[in-house]
Structure 1
Amino acid sequence: MSNLAGSNKGLVSVTGANGGIAQSLLPALLGDHYAVRALFRAENANSRRWAEAGCEIVIGDLRDPDSLKSLVAGADVVIHGAAKIMGFDPGAFHATNVQGTKNLLAAAIDSGCRRFVHLSSMAVYGAGEPGADGAYPENTELRSSESLDAYTRTKLLAERAVVEAGEGSALEYVILRPTCVYGPYIQSWTLLPLNMILKGRPLLIGFDAPEGLMDAVYVEDLVQAILRAVAEPRAAGEIFNIGGESLGFREFYERLGAMVDRAPRLGSEARLQRLSSMIRPVSRFWPAAAEIGRGLEMVRRLSLSRCRYPSTKAMTTLGYAPRFQLPTGMLRTELVLRETGALPARRRPIPSSDRHYHVRPRVLVRPETEPQIIDAIGEARARDLPVKAIGALHSFVPIPVTEGVCVSLDRYRQVLEVEESRVTVQAGITIAELNTALRQHGLALPVNGFYTAQTIAGAISTATHGGSLHHGTLADQVEAIRIVRPDGTVLDIGAADGRFHAVVVSLGLLGIVSTVTLKCVPEFYLRSEARVCSIEQLLTEFDSIQRGNDFVDVLYHPQTRQVKMLLMNRVPVPQNEPISPPIESVPPSVARKKLVSFVFRNFLRVLNTTSSESMNRAVVNRVIDTLYPSEGIRRSDEALTFGDLSAVEPFPIDDMEFAVPYGQAVDALRELSDLFERKRNFPRFFPVHLRCSRAGEHWLSPNHRRDVCWFEFWQYPSNPALYAELASLFDRFDSRLHWGKIGSTDPERLTGLYERWADFTRLRSEWDPEGLLLNERTARWFGRDERALGSGS
């Protein structure tokens, strides 16, 4: 029913109520306590929807003056948003955009309306020239010409009609010139290009090269400007540019294309000129062809333009302040399109790096600033959707999976500050990128993990580690962390804060990490030395090897009972001694990676099913000498990150890793060796990987308050019987699973393994009571009421 009786701000009449802008404008007016009367050309589902929402509906047409009298009767303000945008009949453009505006103005004056807000367009600047600074201010001289396309010409003439009517009557007018408006119901800059991207067609505006600039404004920012134009006394008799942000056409279209996982096809000036040359000969006897030619010229002009449309006047007079940057505006657009069925409910799956699982969210957002991260969380919270951040998706278990808002940090990866040995970085920077940046400052991480494509946030959140009893995990190098919590607040937390050790290793359950400050060390070099011994000798010398070397990486082959170790120790910065060349490889082609992956997978299947242990031993003996790089001196980040898996297309190799208390490591290794000897059930190709880490203080880190030895197992295809035996063995040694590796731990057991488990669970419930950051996997561990978990310590 109509809200005319319940309003307290007066009646506003709106034209173009079936258009894209009105779908955001009408609810904003109703929410701001205006009575709303809306013009539709015919009754339809949309008009009935707005009638139910509280609008009074008038069926009419701008070309019918009588129908407009009913629209404006008793109205305080008229907002004129209706216009003809597309077509090739200049007469039709004039009838709607010019004469229709005049009809509406006359009705508004006769009815005694106070203010007329006219939505024009930046297109009118096609009738003028920019200033020396490349900008089009509102006072740009504009001249109508028959050479202009019908839309530009008639929008300019409509503006003049508004000014003349205002100057000749008591009717106040305000003219708004929006730039490129986009949003979920906008045809010109959203739905039309999205449809063309889906069909693989070249887009109408914007060239691949040279690239022009556009000014994109989200529809809700335009609505904010309209509401201010309605209410601000100083706006009377003024014209305002209403813009958002300047960017290239490609970036804009790529954001649209990302919604449907398609790359946009931009046009070219040469192609446009060919079309124009084909149209020109027939334009003399075909009027529509002449209009097509003028339209193509308008497209060429817009596509090449690098001009600006400053909104300074609107900001000063109206208090206009655009809120939505492009990533957030596109996020809101995509959410509505999926909610309304205009796009599929969920995106295409995003595979994890090892293909163990896929992330298939409703939307994917790629923030470039912290406010955009805050906006993404806010959008998820407002719609009661789960939200998770993703990095390299290196985790072997679906900790990052979400069906709601997925926040990719791949555009949030800058080094922000280097202050002596303290380095602050954005959360999406990868370990490889960080190592490169540190090198330029003569710095290094004290410890590195094996896999450098991880983001820093993902690495610390799951306690990624290296192999040194003299160093903790990578998370133990964190000095401060900045996190966006589920309620949108941002916290800077240092080691003095009691919550610090909960936040650093938190599996993404306390918020989205924004920045990380790391304590680095001066650049250092390591001499690598490979050594082969028996398992018996390793058991005897295990402690002395770990304590006597800076870094130790051990590969134990149960088939042969052989062990190969890489011992790495600090050396002075080389002066006369040669440095070993970097461990590099030429990236293989996609086809080669697929072929290698196919051969390797099938080789592993055959090897896993053969009963010939002699064959297994022969294979292991052939490959054992290739598992470590050549001996020599290398910079620490090269020596510690020698693994290169780029030659193989990823496939789901299982990876289990147990953190055993260091004091029990030898006993655990002895029992493991005995188990393999008794059962003859062991990984057929892959070795057992052993590394150690010093104790740390982070509540959920597997090295919390104890030195640990990591036992890592790789296997393909899956071998559930082996996994069950391993889990049973290591459970007896009070082991903790690596959070990012496969395996199952009883939630009840976790409370005994981690002394601060209950404290973490309480904090998680306090910061995220709605469970926005939980998913099916993590809810098994943290989804219960913390009161059931005891008081903690």
Structure 2
Amino acid sequence: MSRLYAITGATGFAGRHAVSELLGRGHRLRALVRRPENAPLPEGVELIRGDLADAEALARLVTGADAVVHLAGVLAALGREEYFRVNRDGTEALLDAATAAEVPRFVHISSLAAREPSLSPYGASKRAGEEAVLRRAAEIAAVVIRPPAVYGPGDKGTLPLIRELTRPIAAIPGPREARFSLIHGRDLARLIAETLTGAEQGIHEVSDNKPGGYGWPDLIRAAESLRGAPLRAVFLPRAIPAAVALGAEAVARITGKPSLVNRGKIAELYHRDWVSRQGTLALADPISLEQGLAETAAWYREAGWLPRPRGADRRAPNARTP
């Protein structure tokens, strides 16, 4: 049955995958975007001009919707206040609009970083956004999804790591013993689509179902298989990326342009446990790490984000634009 879903963050990496998945299932979408004339979204998506601080736009976004998918958020900011203004206050504003319009379902995409709010302003603001959702549980059927690192074709966030893993010597900003979960962007989109019509409530951590997550040796083996050659990993002492982050923050203050490289992000990178605690939200056939990395690297090369390998073409046969 076709439904109308209101979505924020539709132009981001995860959002574009969600849009593709929901349209593919025959649903109608209404998206909140700052500049509709530049929004890279398929025809047929109804566009509402505005942002999370625009109460009138939010009301138009959610009116008549069967559910809200809240993906929008700020990943990098110049200060703690900006993180909270978007990730907490923006979520509260959207909840106000959804409850006023009597929308029956609210799916909030948070982050595994919210599990450790003391590490970074980003994580603290995402936790605050989750708490705003849970406080409204009596008014709207809401579920919070905490994805781990999301990767896949079109993602710029994991590009630096995959670039390192395609080199003979990879410089890794993190502890050797760290463990973490991963999820492909298409799998996260599938989970979102299934949750929209599900009965789950509360907070759910998700992943690609790998028990115990991954360690760096797992990623190195997958990268070596992709490269067809050995890879040597060098684990950087925390002081090195921390110094880089200080410099990046100084430049950000001068230019007024926030950087993803900041002290909070370094604290997250050097945390040792980012393994999702698997709950009831899980896919039966998630994309494997090997398949996902091969497809992602192939897309990066096709887009010119990575150099093409010499010799045989190792691209994944089913690589395609997200």
TM-score (norm 2): 0.81
Q: Quickly say closer, same or farther: Cα 1:248–1:64, change in 2 above 3 A.
A: same
Q: Quick one: distance in 1 between partners of 2:269 and 2:275?
A: 17
Letter in 2 for 1:239: I
Q: Quick one: distance in 2 between partners of 1:20 and 1:250?
A: 27
Q: Secondary structure at the match of 1:166?
A: coil
Q: Secondary structure at the match of 1:33?
A: coil
1:217 paired residue number: 183
Q: Quickly say closer, same or farther: Cα 1:273–1:363, change in 2 above 3 A.
A: closer
8 Å contact kept, 2:166–2:223: no
Q: Quick one: distance in 2 between partners of 1:274 and 1:179?
A: 22
Q: 2:291 aligns with which of 325, 328, 336?
A: 328
1:50 paired residue number: 41
1:266, CA displacement in angstroms? 4.6
Letter in 1 for 2:269: V
Matches within 5 A, 1:170-249: 171-188=140-157, 190-194=158-162, 202-204=171-173, 206-207=174-175, 210-232=176-198, 234-235=199-200, 237-244=201-208, 245=210, 246-249=213-216
1:222, CA displacement in angstroms? 1.2
CA deviations on 1:720-779 (whole Å, 9 max, x unpaired) are xxxxxxxxxxxxxxxxxxxxxxxxxxxxxxxxxxxxxxxxxxxxxxxxxxxxxxxxxxxx
1:260, CA displacement in angstroms? 11
Higher RCO (C-alpha 8 Å, min separation 6): 2
2:135 paired residue number: 164
Q: 2:31 aligns with which of 25, 31, 38?
A: 38
Q: Quick one: distance in 1 between partners of 2:309 and 2:82?
A: 40
1:94 paired residue number: 84
Q: Quickly say closer, same or farther: Cα 1:66–1:347, change in 2 above 3 A.
A: same
Letter in 2 for 1:120: S
1:342, CA displacement in angstroms? 4.0
CA deviations on 1:284-335 (whole Å, 9 max, x unpaired) are xxxx9xx95444333322xx33x632324224xxxx3242110111233234
2:269 paired residue number: 299
Q: Secondary structure at the match of 1:13?
A: strand
Q: Quickly say closer, same or farther: Cα 1:198–1:273, change in 2 above 3 A.
A: closer
Q: Quickly say closer, same or farther: Cα 1:328–1:9, change in 2 above 3 A.
A: same
1:309 paired residue number: 276
Q: Quick one: distance in 2 between partners of 1:70 and 1:335?
A: 40
Q: Quickly say closer, same or farther: Cα 1:191–1:267, change in 2 above 3 A.
A: same
8 Å contact kept, 2:34–2:49: yes
1:259, CA displacement in angstroms? 6.6
8 Å contact kept, 2:33–2:48: yes
Q: Secondary structure at the match of 2:35?
A: coil
8 Å contact kept, 1:98–1:157: yes
Q: Secondary structure at the match of 1:222?
A: helix
8 Å contact kept, 2:9–2:72: yes
Q: Secondary structure at the match of 1:74?
A: coil
Q: Quick one: distance in 2 between partners of 1:102 and 1:22?
A: 20
Q: Quick one: distance in 2 between partners of 1:90 and 1:254?
A: 38
2:255 paired residue number: none
Q: Quick one: distance in 1 between partners of 2:10 and 2:242?
A: 38
Q: Quick one: distance in 2 between partners of 1:76 and 1:19?
A: 22
1:73 aligns with 2:63: yes
Matches within 5 A, 1:133-144: none
2:49 paired residue number: 59
Matches within 5 A, 1:670-681: none
CA deviations on 1:187-241 (whole Å, 9 max, x unpaired) are 32x224345668988444x23xx33111111112111211111011x21x23211
8 Å contact kept, 2:7–2:29: yes
Letter in 1 for 2:266: L
1:185, CA displacement in angstroms? 2.1
8 Å contact kept, 1:19–1:185: no
1:361 aligns with 2:275: no
8 Å contact kept, 1:75–1:113: yes
1:15 aligns with 2:8: yes
8 Å contact kept, 2:238–2:270: no
Q: Quick one: distance in 1 between partners of 2:277 and 2:223?
A: 24
CA deviations on 1:630-675 (whole Å, 9 max, x unpaired) are xxxxxxxxxxxxxxxxxxxxxxxxxxxxxxxxxxxxxxxxxxxxxx
Q: Quickly say closer, same or farther: Cα 1:330–1:108, change in 2 above 3 A.
A: same
TM-score (norm 1): 0.35
1:29 paired residue number: 22
1:271 aligns with 2:235: no
Q: Quickly say closer, same or farther: Cα 1:18–1:255, change in 2 above 3 A.
A: farther
Q: Quick one: distance in 1 between partners of 2:286 and 2:129?
A: 29
Letter in 2 for 1:80: H
Matches within 5 A, 1:155-554: 155-167=126-138, 169=139, 171-188=140-157, 190-194=158-162, 202-204=171-173, 206-207=174-175, 210-232=176-198, 234-235=199-200, 237-244=201-208, 245=210, 246-249=213-216, 251-252=218-219, 255=222, 258=226, 266-272=234-240, 275=243, 292-301=262-271, 304-305=272-273, 308-315=275-282, 320-343=283-306, 347-349=309-311, 360-363=312-315, 379=318
Which 5+ residue runs of structure 2 have no aligned equivalent?
Answer: 251-257
Letter in 1 for 2:121: A
Q: Quickly say closer, same or farther: Cα 1:175–1:17, change in 2 above 3 A.
A: same
Q: Secondary structure at the match of 2:85?
A: helix
Q: Quick one: distance in 1 between partners of 2:84 and 2:150?
A: 23
Larger CA Rg, structure 1 vs 2: 1
Letter in 2 for 1:191: L
Which 5+ residue runs of structure 1 have no aligned equivalent?
Answer: 1-7, 128-146, 283-287, 350-359, 365-375, 384-793
Q: Secondary structure at the match of 2:181?
A: strand
Q: Quick one: distance in 2 between partners of 1:11 and 1:214?
A: 35
Q: Secondary structure at the match of 1:363?
A: coil
Q: Quick one: distance in 2 between partners of 1:253 and 1:65?
A: 47
1:111 aligns with 2:111: no
CA deviations on 1:148-180 (whole Å, 9 max, x unpaired) are 41111000000000011232x2x2101111112
1:248, CA displacement in angstroms? 1.6
Q: Quick one: distance in 1 between partners of 2:82 and 2:284?
A: 36
Q: Quickly say closer, same or farther: Cα 1:270–1:154, change in 2 above 3 A.
A: closer
Q: Quickly say closer, same or farther: Cα 1:218–1:322, change in 2 above 3 A.
A: farther
1:522 paired residue number: none
